[in-house]
């Protein structure tokens, strides 16, 4: 497991940056459907799952000093943000 967390590669970071928010979204969506008292709307779930990438990004950039992995995660976060703004804020402008 230690070896897996020390990979410094842009594609590894891109994969983590795509996988982690999807996993976080799935967990929060399941929590919302199982416990309706902890209800979030769909937009909020997406924003929280994208913002959850910041925690992982900070871990790899600051603590591990794996710059290429961090850059890949940042690319994934920016891609997710553009997709979110394109689909959900299309009529706002």
Whether residue 92 lies inside any domain: the answer is: no
Q: What pLDDT score does 15 carry?
A: 92
In a domain, 67, yes or no: yes
**What is the Cα–Cα distance from 76 to 13, expressed in whole angstroms?**
8
Residue 35 lies in a domain: yes
State both tokens at 59. Answer: 């871990």
Q: What is the pTM of this model?
A: 0.79
Residue 93 lies in a domain: no
Percent of the chain with pLDDT over 90: 25
pLDDT band at 91 (very low <50, low <70, confident <90, very high): low
User: Domain residues for 72?
Assistant: 6-82
Q: Would 13 be classed as within a structural domain?
A: yes
Residue 27 lies in a domain: yes
Helix (H, G, I), strand (E, B) or coil at 49: helix
Residue 37 lies in a domain: yes
Residue 31 has pLDDT above 70, yes or no: yes
Split into its structural domains, the chain has a count of 1
With respect to residue 89, please indicate whether it lies within any of the assigned structural domains.
no
Q: What is the pLDDT, as a whole number, of residue 36?
A: 74
10 Å CB burial of residue 53 (0-12, 13-18, 19+) is: buried
pLDDT at 1: 65
Q: How confident is the model at residue 19 (pLDDT cuts 50, 70, 90)?
A: very high
């Amino acid at each position: 497991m230690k070896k897996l967390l020390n990979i410094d590669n842009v594609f590894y970071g891109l994969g983590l940056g795509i996988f982690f928010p999807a996993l976080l979204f799935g967990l929060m969506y399941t929590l919302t459907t199982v416990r309706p008292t902890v209800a979030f709307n769909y937009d909020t779930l997406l924003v929280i799952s994208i913002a959850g990438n910041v925690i992982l990004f900070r871990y790899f950039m600051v603590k591990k000093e794996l710059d290429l992995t961090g850059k890949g995660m940042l690319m994934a976060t920016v891609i997710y943000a553009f997709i979110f703004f394109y689909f959900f804020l299309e009529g706002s402008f």
